[in-house]
């Protein structure tokens, strides 16, 4: 076997490069074999003493990262905690990133029976170093540090480290944020959001530690638009977390978002994000257990007001308003509020859905109408209460009467005759609406609509075929459930087309075109 020396690490670098770039996941056996040839102490020594040699640092860091990702490699980390400690303090961002990832590997693969990981973290002062990487590292280091801290929060002992009983600890996230730059504060808040997603128990600790108040404070301070926008993006993530609906309504965030939406002096992009966050939060079916209905009505009224004042002057904000209303309308209670508000906020969604003055605006409105009509809801929650149903039918017929099409069937057809994205949104609208007998009759009254929905060649993309097939299935199910329609001889042709389209499935609409052999006589000279 060829020898290698610390003075000439060429052989090590070649082997490390091969190991780092090996396709697939390394097994414990391959990691052991590599470390038998090149012991971990040697690799670390070369990394520390030869880092200035071109290619050494990047090659060895990539190799070590893959070694520590194996269970065998992770089992060796406790013996090299001083190396991890030095790595977290390194000037090199690449080495710091490796050290953060090494902590994650340790936490993800530790054996509770043999390795007291929390004790190792405390003894080697790892957590404060991770926080320093979070605040002062580059973007990759900060992300790796957040991942490591999130892994640490996965155990009870780890949570005690992150959330110390003494609020005056320098590592308390509130104190850390207080002494940071604006970028550092945003990173601390990003960590809070990441930790919030771990579990309901961690979210409860964050709530009890008043860390959500840090988000409120940053949203309230609108002096720095970039910081406010960054925090709004974090709130957007927070609103998506399932158990977030239990904790967020306890804060003043909904009121703060409402104040941003209603503040016409603010930048449009901030109002847009505030509307989107409100829509995402209020789309949760169980949100009404934790928030007063009057707050929801206030948000709807503010968004609707912006929509009425904007019309099509500010396309981005207009589309955000429509999408937010659509998200609120995805729950059955939210749909009822949109349809029964005075004036009904759903009116502007419906009018925009069938107005071809702005494509982006129409697309957003169609998807919003699909949500309101129940396309995303379970079968027993498609239809809101009777008053809301009457309002929905009235608003669609009213919109049709004001258009050149005059009928709702004409509106549906005009949507299905547009480009693929608009058609896809149109399929969603019809899928939700067709549960209503009046809509089914409108569909059946237009042979062109039936031809498009049951046709074999109207869609070419996977998502388009699936949306059309779901629409066809919904129409077929409602049609076959009506004895009046199935017994009508005049509709027999429609029934046959629907049955054939459903039988074909979403992807068999286009018959396979097999190559046909061409036989001809040979040319003779």
Average pLDDT over residues 141-149: 96
The Cα 248–Cα 287 span in angstroms is: 10
Q: Above 70 in pLDDT, residue 511?
A: no
pLDDT class for 11, splitting at 50, 70, 90?
A: confident
SS (H, E, C) 429-495: HHHHHCCCHHHHHHHHCCHHHHHHHHCCCCCCCHHHHHHHHHHHHHHHHHHHCCHHHHCCHHHHHHH
Mean predicted confidence (pLDDT) in 106-127: 83
pTM of the predicted protein model: 0.82
SS3 state of residue 520: coil
Q: What is the dihedral of CA 75, 78, 79, 82, to 10 degrees?
A: 140
Whether the pLDDT of residue 339 is over 50: the answer is: yes
**Pair (259, 396) in one structural domain:** yes
Residue 121 has pLDDT above 50, yes or no: yes
Give the integer Cα–Cα distance in Å for 172 and 205: 12
Instruction: Give the pLDDT score at 514.
Output: 45
Return the beta strands (E) in 326-439 as ranges. Answer: none
Which one of 101, 135, 169 terminates a domain? 135
Please check whether residue 471 lies inside any domain of the structure: no
Q: What's the pLDDT score for residue 289?
A: 80
Closest CA to 248 of 201, 202, 285, 216: 216
Q: pLDDT tens for residues 371-403? A: 999 999 988 889 999 999 999 999 999 999 988
Please report which confidence band the pLDDT of residue 242 belongs to, taking 50, 70 and 90 as the band edges.
confident
Least confident range from 270-274, 412-416, 506-510, 512-516: namely 512-516
What confidence tens digit (pLDDT) does each residue in 46-69 have? 888 887 788 888 999 999 999 999
Q: Is residue 479 part of a domain?
A: no
In a domain, residue 429? The reply is no
| 84 assigned to some structural domain | yes
Which among 91, 202, 190 has a CA at the least distance from the CA of 145?
A: 190
Total of domains in the chain: 2
Cα dihedral angle (240, 241, 242, 245), rounded to 10 degrees?
-80
**Residue 478 neighbours by CB distance under 10 Å:** 17
Q: Which two tokens stand for residue 13?
A: 């670098």
Please report the sign of the dihedral spanned by the C-alpha atoms of residue 265, residue 266, residue 268, residue 274.
Answer: negative
Confidence of residue 111 (pLDDT cuts 50, 70, 90): low
Of 86, 19, 17, which is closest to residue 58 (Cα–Cα)?
17
Stretch among 77-81, 194-198, 412-416, 478-482 having the lowest mean pLDDT: 478-482
Residues 316-335: pLDDT tens digits?
889 999 999 999 999 999 99
Which among 376, 377, 297, 380 is positioned nearest to 341, based on CA atoms? 297
Distance CA 414, CA 399 (A): 13
Assess contact for 450 and 495: CB atoms under 8 A.
Answer: no
Which of 17-31, 106-120, 267-281, 470-484 is predicted least confidently?
106-120
Claim to verify: residue 257 and residue 396 sit in the same structural domain? yes
Ramachandran class of 55: left when φ > 0, alpha when ψ lies in -120 to 50, beta otherwise: left
pLDDT, position 459:
84
Residue 131 lies in a domain: yes
Which of 403, 422, 450 delimits the end of a domain? Answer: 403
CA torsion 330-335-341-345 (nearest 10°) is 50
374 domain residue, yes or no: yes
- Residue 525: the pLDDT is 40
pLDDT at residue number 1: 42
Model confidence pLDDT, tens digit, residues 430-489: 999 999 999 999 998 889 999 999 887 778 889 989 999 999 999 999 888 877 878 888
pLDDT band at 413 (very low <50, low <70, confident <90, very high): very high
8 Å CB contact between 303 and 324: yes
Q: If pLDDT is split at 50, 70 and 90, which confidence band does 312 have? A: very low
291 within some domain? yes
Query: Does any domain span residue 218?
Result: no
Predicted local confidence at residue 431, as pLDDT? 94
238-252 CB burial, b ≥16 within 10 A, e <16: bbebeebbbbbbeee
Average predicted confidence (pLDDT) for the chain: 87
Task: Dump pLDDT digits (tens) for 421-443.
Answer: 999 999 999 999 999 999 999 99
Q: Provide the pLDDT confidence category of residue 308 given band limits of 50, 70 and 90.
A: confident
Distance CA(468)–CA(502), nearest Å, equals 10
- Domain with 66, as residue range(s), is 1-135
Q: What's the rounded Cα separation, in Å, for the pair 259 and 169?
A: 34
CATH of the domain at 104: 1.25.10.10
For position 416, what pLDDT does the model report?
A: 93
Q: Express as a percent the part of the chain with pLDDT over 70.
A: 93
Task: Give the contacts of 259 (CB within 8 A, at least 6 positions apart).
Answer: none
pLDDT of 5 over the 60 cut: no
* pLDDT for res 146: 96
- For residue 148, pLDDT beyond 90: yes
pLDDT the model gives residue 515: 47
Express as a percent the part of the chain with pLDDT over 90.
Answer: 46
Confidence of residue 7 (pLDDT cuts 50, 70, 90): low
Dihedral angle computed from the Cα positions of residues 178, 184, 186 and 191, in that order, rounded to the nearest 10 degrees? -90
User: 372 — phi, psi (to 5°)?
Assistant: -60, -35
At 466 the pLDDT is 92
Question: 120 with 260, same domain?
Answer: no
| Domain finish residue from 135, 154, 171 | 135
78-115: b (≥16 Cβ within 10 Å) or e = bebbebbeebbebeeebbbbbbbbbbbbbbebbeeeeb
Tokens of residue 167, six digits: 């609020």
- The predicted pLDDT at position 118 comes to 85
Check whether 119 has a pLDDT greater than 60.
yes
Q: 247: part of which helix (H) or strand (E)?
A: helix 244-247
pLDDT at residue 54 in the model: 83
């Amino acid at each position: 076997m060829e020898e290698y020396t610390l003075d000439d690490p060429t052989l090590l670098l070649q082997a490390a490069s091969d190991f780092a770039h090996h396709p697939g996941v390394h097994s414990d056996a391959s990691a052991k074999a590599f470390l038998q040839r090149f012991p971990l102490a040697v690799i670390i020594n070369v990394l520390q003493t030869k880092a200035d040699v071109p290619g050494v640092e990047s090659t060895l860091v990539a190799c070590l990262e893959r070694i520590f990702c194996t269970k065998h490699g992770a089992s060796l980390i406790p013996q090299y905690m001083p190396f991890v400690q030095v790595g977290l303090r390194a000037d090199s961002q690449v080495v710091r990133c490796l050290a953060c990832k090494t902590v994650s590997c340790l936490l993800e693969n530790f054996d509770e029976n043999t390795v007291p990981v929390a004790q190792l973290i405390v003894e080697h002062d790892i957590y404060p170093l991770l926080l320093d990487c979070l605040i002062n590292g580059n973007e990759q280091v900060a992300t790796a540090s957040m991942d490591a801290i999130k892994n640490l929060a996965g155990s009870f002992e780890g949570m005690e480290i992150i959330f110390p009983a003494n609020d005056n600890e320098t590592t308390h996230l509130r104190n850390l944020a207080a002494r940071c730059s604006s970028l550092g504060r945003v990173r601390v808040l990003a960590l809070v959001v990441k930790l919030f997603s771990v579990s309901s128990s961690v979210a409860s600790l964050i709530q009890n530690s008043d860390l959500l108040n840090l988000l409120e404070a940053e949203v309230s301070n609108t002096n720095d638009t970039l910081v406010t926008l960054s925090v709004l993006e974090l709130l957007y993530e927070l609103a998506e977390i399932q158990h977030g609906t239990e904790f967020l309504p306890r804060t003043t965030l909904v009121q703060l978002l409402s104040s941003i939406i209603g503040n016409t002096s603010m930048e449009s992009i901030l109002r847009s994000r505030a509307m989107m966050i409100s829509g995402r939060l209020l789309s949760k079916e169980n949100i009404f257990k934790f928030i007063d209905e009057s707050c929801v009505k206030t948000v709807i009224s503010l968004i609707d007001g912006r929509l009425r004042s904007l019309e099509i002057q500010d396309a981005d904000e207009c589309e955000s308003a429509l999408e937010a209303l659509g998200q609120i309308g995805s729950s059955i209670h939210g749909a009822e509020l949109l349809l029964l508000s005075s004036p009904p906020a759903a009116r502007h969604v419906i009018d925009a859905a069938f107005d071809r003055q702005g494509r982006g605006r129409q697309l957003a409105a169609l998807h919003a109408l699909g949500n309101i009509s129940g396309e995303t809801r379970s079968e027993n929650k498609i239809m809101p209460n009777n008053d809301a149903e009457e309002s929905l039918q009235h608003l669609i017929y009213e919109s049709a009467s004001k258009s050149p099409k005059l009928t709702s069937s004409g509106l549906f057809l005009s949507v299905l005759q547009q480009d693929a994205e608009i058609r896809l949104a149109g399929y969603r609208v019809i899928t939700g609406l067709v549960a209503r007998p009046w809509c089914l009759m409108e569909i059946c009254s237009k042979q062109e609509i039936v031809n498009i929905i049951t046709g074999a060649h109207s869609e070419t993309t996977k998502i388009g075929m699936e949306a059309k097939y779901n629409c066809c299935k919904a129409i077929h199910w409602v049609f076959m459930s009506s004895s009046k329609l199935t017994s009508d001889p005049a509709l027999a042709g429609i029934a046959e087309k629907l049955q054939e389209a459903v039988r074909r499935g979403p992807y068999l609409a286009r018959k396979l075109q097999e190559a046909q052999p061409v036989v001809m006589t040979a040319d003779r000279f």
